Every structure is written in structure tokens, then in C-alpha cells.
Amino acid sequence: MTTARTSDLWWKNAVVYCLDVETFLDWDGDGRGDFQGLTERVDYLAGMGVSCIWLMPFYPSPDKNDGYDISDYYALNPRLGSLGDFVAFMRTARDRGMRVIVDLVVNHTSDQHPWFRASRSSRDNAFRDFYVWVDKPPRQKKADLVFPDAEDGIWTYDEKTDQWYLHHFYSHQPDLNISNPVVRDEIAKLVGFWLELGVDGFRVDAVPFLIETGDVSLDPHTILRNLRSFISRRRGDSMMLGEVNLPYGELRQFFGGAGGDELHMNFDFILMQRMYLALARQDATPIREALSARPALAEGSQWAVFVRNHDELTLDKLSDGERQEVFEAFGPEPSMQLFGRGLRRRLPPMLDGDGARVRLVYSLLLPLPGTPVLFYGEEIGMGENLDVPGRLSVRTPMQRTDERNGGFSPAPPSRLTRPVAHGRYGPLAVNVAAQRRDPDSLLNWFERVIRRRRETPEFGWGACAVLDTAGDDAVLAHRCDWEEGAVVAVHNLSPEPRHVRVRLGDGKAFDRVIDLLASAEPQPLNGDMLEMKMDGHGFQWVRLQRKEGRTVP
Ligand code: NOJ
């Protein structure tokens, strides 16, 4: 029974890896990554222990927003491959036991999508109501703007038909009219198409905007519930992972609340932001507070935890003062900041290349209650390229070797999708090939901790509690219990060594602890207090062994 449940709800103990086909590996030599290249590297991902690949948009697109401006939902961008290449990739991933989810971007289309071309052609065109048109735009607040650098409003005037259309993002990304049932049917149809091609689910883009309706008789959450029922009917073990950057109180409903019948997973943007505040302060209190404030979820629901993604590191849910603290610690230069709310950097440069601290952060990420989501290149410690504009600074090509273009492509550098990183974090210093040969490399460390994380499902499934650390605020200790297992992770955010004392709550039930990351002998446990010596920025994951009962390795 348990095994059936754990494999049905596979996302509860997955390790997700996000990548853009365009920047992963160029196989045909045109300067752009492609599906053939990705297929060649599926074994690399499987070897690392990744269990689910999230593909950023790969559809036909004018590429004005890195593929998030889609002009055809039923095809591949021809520069990335054919549908045949896609299916070959899916088959290979499945053969290696990996799931695949794809970006579902249906809040908006590109303005080049045939639906929008038809819609804007005349007021009585059959596609007019696929988008949101008004005679006079309502008043808008500065806060409504997602891209304040490029847009000064979310409505754009279209001369031909003398009306304004809605676009929460760029003006070349008109919002679909979700209130129109025909649009909802079209979304179901395209979701069904990709499910038939074998995908295991979707990372759903911009969900709060997507379900915003102009129709008071249509409850926005009914839209998500219906989509959930539809995909579950088509494929019972499919999953939706939502991009919903909202306070916990509002976010809970996007899971479907206690019923858990909307999005299966949502990114925890609050915890991510508070983690950076904690790192800046060398004090775990902001993480403790976030974990304690998280709402309870239904069994099939799950948090997705992450350190970085493909966008700016948004700090929009911190207070102005807190955001300033993080800016000062991790991105003091204006060129490192974006939209006044975020940082366009990857983690290692933010930590000034301090390897111990980089490992501390990922050691903290993996056992956080939820499912970890990695962004390509994190496993080797890639940096950003600030010469590349805006959010694209962190989307540079994957660095495989120390050869030209970091081994990403044989094409002349001028033909690449975008330039590779250079300097301290460029391919000469940071690449897969060199790290594979070094047993102490970040890549080999990642393989070991990912394996351990997947073998420790308590972190994904368990009931988790923040433990008392005898007043030492720099240390975070959390415990997750599930079925017969109990595990504790302890992280020292301070550079100073510590003698850590963690109160287990019911420690008398255990008599030994086993270090899950080192090969040390089991240690006897006396009473309720777990004591350990920790280096500055040190970390430990331990399993508590019961006095009686089965021994879990
Ligand atoms: C959120 C995505 O993460 C971002 O990259 C994109 O630009 C917007 N949604 C619009 O699709």
C-alpha cells in the first residue's frame, strides 16, 4: 500500500532539474542547444540522481521573452528539433526512470500567435474574445507592472480596432481571456496533446494572472480545479507545479486548501526569500519563521523548494529594509539588481565563491520539507554573466568542458544563443568534465547528497517541526517524521564553530543516531538532547534510531 502511494504521488520525493533546451547542449552545431543534445545528456542527469526534468518553453516563438511568448502550442521551435526529436528524448528519459514536465504558458500568447492576429483584425472576428479588449483601460497601479523597465502599463492601445488589450507582462504578450469557455477548452486540448506525447505534468506559468477573470460569476479557483480534474482524468499520476508568488494565506487556496484539488505543488517563494535574509544575517530566524508560518497541506500537495531559478531572484516579499540587507550582502552594485526588487545573479558569485557556504546552502535546500528544484548549472557552481542583459544573465550556456564555448557548441562564439560566462566562473574554471574527475568537486558532492536525499523520503513526505536549539539563533534544526522513520537536519549559518544542542522533543524513544552524510559509526544518544560539534557553516543530517523496531540503514 505504502509503495503504491509513494510511487503514485511521485512528486513528493522527486528531485526536479530545470533546464532550457536552447542552452543545454548544441548537437547540430548551429549555436543553439537542441533536443538531440539534451537526449545525449539524459544519462548525465540520471547519474546525478535527478528524477524529474522540467523543460522551459521550447515551442515556436518570436523569442522576445526567451520563449515565454508562444506562437504555436502544438509544435517545437524548429531550431531545437522536430516532434520526432522530442519523442526520442521522452523515450530516453522514461527509459532512465525519469519524469518530464513542461512549461505551460497560457496566461498569454505571443502577439504573433494566429489567435491574436485574428483577434486584433476586427471587433467582430471569431477570435476577438480570445483576448481581453476594452474601450477605456481601468486605472492601474505601479505595483501591477511586472516589467517596469520595459512597460508603463498593462493595457496597450490598438489603433486598428480602437480598443485596448490587456497584457500583464510585455505588450507583445497579450493575455488570453480565461473567462471565455472556448479558451478554456483550447487550454485543455493543448494540455491533453502534451500528455499524449508522454509528459508527466506541467510547470504552470504566472498562475494568479492566469486565473484572474473579468467575470464575477466565475470563481477563479474553479478554473484550476477543472484543469486538475481534466489532467487527472487523462493521466492519474500527472502533476502541476505552480508559479504563485503570493503570501502563504493566499497561496494555500492554489493547492485547493484542505481538499488539495488544485495545483499539486507550488514554489515556496516566501521561504526562498527568507532564506537569503537568513544567509545575509547569519541567523536562521527568518527561515524558522517561514517554516512555522507555512499552512498545512493535504497529503497529495507538496511545496517546491529552490535556491535560484531562471528569473531574477525576487525579494519582493521582504520589507524594504530587509531587501536592502540582502542587496548589500549579495548584490550591492546596481548592475546586479533588477526591477528594484531582485538580483540577477547565481549563488556562488553572491557568496564570493566560498565553497563551504555554497554546500551549506544546498545541504539546507535538499532536506527542507518539500521537493527540491535545481536550476541547470547549480550542480557545478556556475556563475552569471552580467554582460548579458536583464534576467538572461543567469541563462548562459551550460559549461561542459574548458574548450571553446565551454563545450556547449562547436559554432563560432558569435553564433551562440547567448555568450557563455567568463572569468572566475567561466568554463576554464567551472565545467562538468573537470569536476567529474575530482572526487571532492561540487558535482560529485551533489551526486552523493542527492542520492541520500532520495533515500530519505521523510524530508519529502514527513511531518516536519523546527527544533529548539537552546537559544542558538544561527543554527537551524528541523526534524521530519514519516512512518517509522525520523530524521533531523542541522545547519550552522554562522562562520563560527558551534557546540550545538538540539532538543528532540521525544528523544527518549531513540538510542542511536546515524550520520547520513558522513560514514561515521552510529553514535549513542542519551536522552532528549542531540549534541554535536559543528564547523562554521557546518551541516549534518542524521537518522534517529528507535530503541525497538526495524533498523533503517
Ligand atoms: C514567469 C516566467 O518565469 C518568466 O520567465 C516569464 O517571463 C513570465 N512568467 C512571463 O511568461
- Say if CB 149 and CB 142 are below 8 A apart: no
Q: Is 169 a pocket residue for ligand 1 (Cβ < 6 Å)?
A: yes
117: number of CA atoms within 13 Å, CB side?
A: 6
Q: Please state, in angstroms and rounded to a whole number, the distance separating the CA atoms of residues 37 and 311.
A: 24
pLDDT tens digits, one per residue of 98-144 = 999 999 999 999 999 999 999 999 999 999 999 999 999 988 777 67
| pLDDT value of position 1 | 42
- Selected from 3.40.50.460, 1.10.3720.10, 3.30.70.260, 3.20.20.80, the CATH number assigned to the domain covering 10-105+181-310+353-453 reads 3.20.20.80
Going by the DSSP 8-state scheme, the letter that residue 34 receives in this structure is -
Q: Choose the catalytic residue: 205, 379, 384, 472.
A: 205
Q: Please state, in angstroms and rounded to a whole number, the distance separating the CA atoms of residues 241 and 255.
A: 10
Gyration radius of the chain over CA positions: 24
| pLDDT value of position 166 | 96
pLDDT tens digits, one per residue of 308-365 = 999 999 999 999 999 999 999 999 999 999 999 999 999 999 999 999 999 999 999 9
For a substitution probing ligand 1, which of 20, 65, 166 has the most ligand atoms within 8 Å of its CB? Answer: 65
Has 175 been annotated as catalytic? no
For a substitution probing ligand 1, which of 61, 105, 110 has the most ligand atoms within 8 Å of its CB? Answer: 105
Q: What is the full DSSP assignment across 483-516? A: TTEEEEEEEE-SSS-EEEEEE-SSGGGEEEEEES
| pLDDT value of position 148 | 83
Which residues fall within 8 angstroms of residue 104, CB to CB, at 6 or more apart?
191, 202, 203, 204, 205, 240
Q: Give pairs for 225-233: CB < 8 Å, separation 24+.
A: 225/256, 225/261, 225/262, 226/184, 227/187, 227/188, 227/191, 228/256, 228/261, 228/262, 228/263, 228/264, 229/261, 230/188, 230/191, 230/192, 231/191, 231/195, 231/201, 231/202
What CATH class does 460-545 carry? Answer: mainly beta
Domain with CATH 2.60.40.1180 in the chain: 460-545
For residue 505, give the amino acid letter: G
| pLDDT value of position 141 | 75
Q: Is 311 a pocket residue for ligand 1 (Cβ < 6 Å)?
A: yes
Residue minimizing CA distance to atom 2 of ligand 1: 205
pLDDT tens digits, one per residue of 256-281 = 999 999 999 999 999 999 999 999 99
Q: Give strand pairing partners of 487.
A: 480, 543
Identify the CATH number of the domain defined by range 114-166: 3.90.400.10
Range list of H helices, 412-457: 432-437, 442-454
* pTM reported for the whole predicted model: 0.97
Residue minimizing CA distance to atom 3 of ligand 1: 311
Q: Give strand pairing partners of 508.
A: none
Q: Please state, in angstroms and rounded to a whole number, the distance separating the CA atoms of residues 178 and 212.
A: 8
Domain with CATH 3.20.20.80 in the chain: 10-105+181-310+353-453
For residue 58, give the amino acid letter: F
Q: Please state, in angstroms and rounded to a whole number, the distance separating the CA atoms of residues 493 and 448.
A: 22
Residue minimizing CA distance to atom 4 of ligand 1: 311
Residue minimizing CA distance to atom 5 of ligand 1: 311
For residue 44, give the amino acid letter: Y
Has 205 been annotated as catalytic? yes
Atom of ligand 1 nearest to the CA of 169: 10
Domain with CATH 3.90.400.10 in the chain: 114-166
Q: Is 144 a pocket residue for ligand 1 (Cβ < 6 Å)?
A: no
- Say if CB 13 and CB 49 are below 8 A apart: no
Q: Choose the catalytic residue: 20, 111, 243, 283.
A: 243
| pLDDT value of position 457 | 96
Residue ranges of the chain with per-residue pLDDT less than 70:
1-4, 143, 507, 548-553
Q: Is 303 a pocket residue for ligand 1 (Cβ < 6 Å)?
A: no
- Say if CB 211 and CB 103 are below 8 A apart: no
Which residues fall within 8 angstroms of residue 85, CB to CB, at 6 or more apart?
34, 35, 36, 39, 76
β-bridge pairing 16-19 and 99-104: unpaired
For a substitution probing ligand 1, which of 66, 110, 205 has the most ligand atoms within 8 Å of its CB? Answer: 205
Q: Is 56 a pocket residue for ligand 1 (Cβ < 6 Å)?
A: no
